[in-house]
Each structure stands twice: as C-alpha cells, then as structure tokens.
Structure 1
C-alpha cells in the first residue's frame, strides 16, 4: 500500500492581529530542539504527538490539546498517521487579553504554564473554531471565539502562576534583532559574535544557554519563516534559496523540510495564493 504524502497548510487569518491557522496531515518528522515566536494552541486530531520540554515528555493523544509559548524550547516526535490543527497567536494579542483580565482583578497575574491539556470541552471548543475558519475564513465571529477561548485557558491557570520563559538579556535580544535584519547575508559565527563584542566561543555559549538553541538554528528558523511567504509567490526555488542566504537550493530544501516537515515544493503546492 502506498503511503499518503504529508501535507501542511497555513492560513493567515489576520496579519494585523498576528493569527494563523496551521493544518498538518501525516507529518512524520522528528523535530529537534526549537522555539517559536508565537503562542501555539494545538489539537491532535489523529495519532500521537510527543513533546519534550524541560526534560519531561508529554504524549498528546487524539482530541487532546497542547500549548506552547514563544521561545519555549521543545522537541517533537509524531506517529506516522499524525494529523493536527494549530492556532498561532501573536504575543501582542495575548498581552491585550491578559491586560483585559487584569483590569477585572488586579490581584491576578495570569500566564500560561501548562503544555498538555486533557479537557474534552476545551478540545471541542478549539475544534469548533477550526471548523468555522475552514468553512468561512476569518470573521468577527471567529475572532470573538478565539479571544474567548484564550481567555478561558487563562482562567484555567493558577492565580500564582509565573512565566515559564523569561525575557532574554539585552545582548541576546540585540543579537536576535541583528540576525533577523541580516538574514539574507552569509553570517559566520565570528561576524555575529563581533557585533556582540564577544569571542565566538563565549558568544555561542551565552546565546545557546539563554535561548536554548544555537545562533545558527535561530537564524535558520527565521529564514524558513521568510521562505514561507516567498513560496506563496511564483518565484523559482533557486531564487528563494539565494535571496535568504542559503548556500544553494539543496541546502534550502534540506533545512526547510527539517523544520517544517514537508519539502518547499510540497508546501508551495498547498499554500500558493
């Protein structure tokens, strides 16, 4: 029997608010330690997703939820039949919803601390959101449901909960901005360390300790994020790879598949505008 191919589809629901819906089918990759720049609220629809974070592994089964914060270092492995839907939400929108909750009770300091949720009601609510946006796209009703859902998750957290991911120190934060700004350039470790006024050895150790991933992995993740946008346009893969600082198309394809679970060509096929 021929195995069905993997498929990854990403819908931008609101550029202004920073909301995306991510639909993955039969994504079989093993994803090494990495981070995201947004909050992820995910529903496993088939199979099992194993998430390893802080030396603990969470096995998220069908109709169970997972939640990851920006910069929360984790790794994932999935069963071969794994299918999932994820709501990606910008930190700015989350902060707005937090502020609204704090206005109602200033003694609370709401934040997310859980990764794995086993709550049938929460799972069904998220499934309803995905069903709605699949049929109708983004709407005022869908936005209201998303905001209400996130507020509900915040209410599930203990009132004394503390942030899981601390803010990086200035030297690391500035380096992240430098890497994003210059992602199209060839950036050897020595050049990146120089802008931080550190030796390559000390810089690599500091960055990896604070971020949980190496400067190279951080840079490649940003390049792949930029590639996602370019792949929606009619631009040859060779031009995409060169414009983003990859050595060649083969290098680009290898890194993209490693981080996204599908090849650039397969991604373009399901996400072209």
Structure 2
C-alpha cells in the first residue's frame, strides 16, 4: 500500500474577506513556540493535536475544536494521522462580529477556553469547511462564519485578558524593522544596534514581550513571505536566497518546521 503524502492547502481570502482557510492532511510535526496575528478556529478531523500554552497542555481529538487568540504563544504536537481544518480570521473581522452580537463596539475579544467539546459548534464549523471545500468562498459561507462565531460567543462569552500588554515602542519598532528587512542577514547584534540596546537586553525584552525570540519571529515572517511567492515559478534555490535564508536546505528545514510540509510539497498542493 502506498503511503499517502502530507499536504497543506491554503485558501487565502484576506484581501476581500479578512480570512484564510487552511486544510492539513496527515501532518505529523512538532511546532515549536510561535504566535499568529489572527484568531484561529480549528477542527481536528482525524488524529490528535496537543496544544501547549504556558504550563497547560490540551489534547484535542477527532471532532473537537480549538480556539487560539492573536499573539497567543503556543506549541503544537500532532500525531501521524493528524488531519485538520482551520479558519484564520483577522482581529478586525472578529471585532465586527462581536460588535454586531453585543450591540456595540468592544475591545478585542479574548476566548478563555482553548479546547471545545460541543457537538453543535463542531457541526457549525464543519458546515463552513464543507461549503468552502465544495463551492469556495461565498456570501453564504461568510454568513455561516458569522453564525459560528456568534454561537461561540454565546457558548463562551468573550472576556478581556487579565494581562493586557502595554505598548512597547522598542519591540514594536524591531518587529517592523524585521519585516521590512527580512531578506537581509540580521544577526542579533544588528537588531540590538537598531534598538540601541545591548544584544542581551534586546533579546530579553523582545522575548518577554513577544513570547518568542527575534530569530524565530524573523523566520516565521520569511516563511509567510515564501508562501506568497511559492505561487510564482521561481526556483526554490533562488527563492531561498532572496528571502534571506542561507541556502535552499536552510529554507526547506525552516519552512517544514513552520508549516509541517516542504516548500516543494506546498507549491504542488497550492499551485491551482
């Protein structure tokens, strides 16, 4: 019997809809501590996904849901047969739905529960993914997404996180600098010099604020840029260098670490 290959398929609707949909099949991987800029509403369709946030680990099994907030530091470990679907929604879109649901403008919602074992919520989210898989994004699908998040709000009212991060200009500036200059070689000493801090002090305050190191933040952004450019017919070796990786091997290792599949596999799956 031929073993089925792993694949990650992403449908990006961020420009028009403020969201993207991620379908993963047979993804066995350990995703180190990382963050996302969006809300993630996920459904485990096969296998298991263990999510670690702080000192707590949650094991999500088949037909169970998980919710992660923007900038919530977490790590994941997935079983060999792990299949999943994830709805990635911008904070602005979620805030709009919360405003409609609660009748007024509210600050960014925080959903305190990560794992959900609710058949109704599972069916609602499954309906969203089934519709998008068969018909693509539509106003009907968008309506179902609004209904799902509204139901989630009723099931688990959004709260304000206990620890509200205050603005940190040095770190915010460093993040913008990393994004703007991701194609360059950026050792810690260069980042610290830009921030006018010692390397030790810069690393400490960046990691404390973001939950991950400056290098991990940089590599994640490079992978995000790679995802956009893999649709172009650029040789992987050239793409690797243009994005700031040492070589194609470094690019492949980093991409697989972040996405769970190789750049070539991702390009093949998302070429249509």
Match of 2:161 among 160, 163, 175: 163
Aligned-partner Cα distance in 2 for 1:60–1:91: 24
The residue matched to 1:16 in structure 2 has which SS?
helix
- For this pair of structures, how many residues does the alignment match? 271
In the alignment, which residue of structure 2 is the partner of 1:179?
178
In the alignment, which residue of structure 2 is the partner of 1:34?
34
Structure 1 unmatched ranges of 5 or more? none
Residue 248 of structure 1 pairs with residue 237 of structure 2: no
Aligned-partner Cα distance in 1 for 2:50–2:200: 33
The residue matched to 1:32 in structure 2 has which SS?
strand
| 1:2 to partner: Cα distance | 4.4
In the superposition, the TM-score normalised over structure 2's length comes to 0.94
The residue matched to 1:187 in structure 2 has which SS?
coil
Q: 1:140 to 1:164 in 2, by over 3 A?
A: farther
In the alignment, which residue of structure 1 is the partner of 2:122?
123
Q: 1:234 to 1:149 in 2, by over 3 A?
A: same
**Are 2:65 and 2:117, in contact at CA under 8 Å, matched by a contact in 1?**
yes
Aligned-partner Cα distance in 2 for 1:259–1:67: 19
Structure 2 unmatched ranges of 5 or more? none
| 1:238 to partner: Cα distance | 1.2
CA distances 1:142-195 after superposition (whole Å, capped 9, x unpaired): 111112211221222246x32267345222112111111111111111111112
Deviates more, 1:220-229 or 1:161-170: 161-170
In the alignment, which residue of structure 2 is the partner of 1:81?
81
**Are 1:46 and 1:81, in contact at CA under 8 Å, matched by a contact in 2?**
yes
After superposition, residues 78-227 of structure 1 pair within 5 angstroms as 78-104=78-104, 110-158=109-157, 161-163=159-161, 166-167=164-165, 168-227=167-226
In the alignment, which residue of structure 2 is the partner of 1:72?
72
| 1:17 to partner: Cα distance | 3.0
Aligned-partner Cα distance in 2 for 1:104–1:53: 31
| 1:234 to partner: Cα distance | 1.0
Aligned-partner Cα distance in 1 for 2:252–2:202: 28
| 1:243 to partner: Cα distance | 1.2
| 1:98 to partner: Cα distance | 2.4
CA RMSD, 1 decimal: 1.8
Aligned-partner Cα distance in 1 for 2:108–2:255: 38
In the superposition, the TM-score normalised over structure 1's length comes to 0.94
Aligned-partner Cα distance in 2 for 1:52–1:3: 29
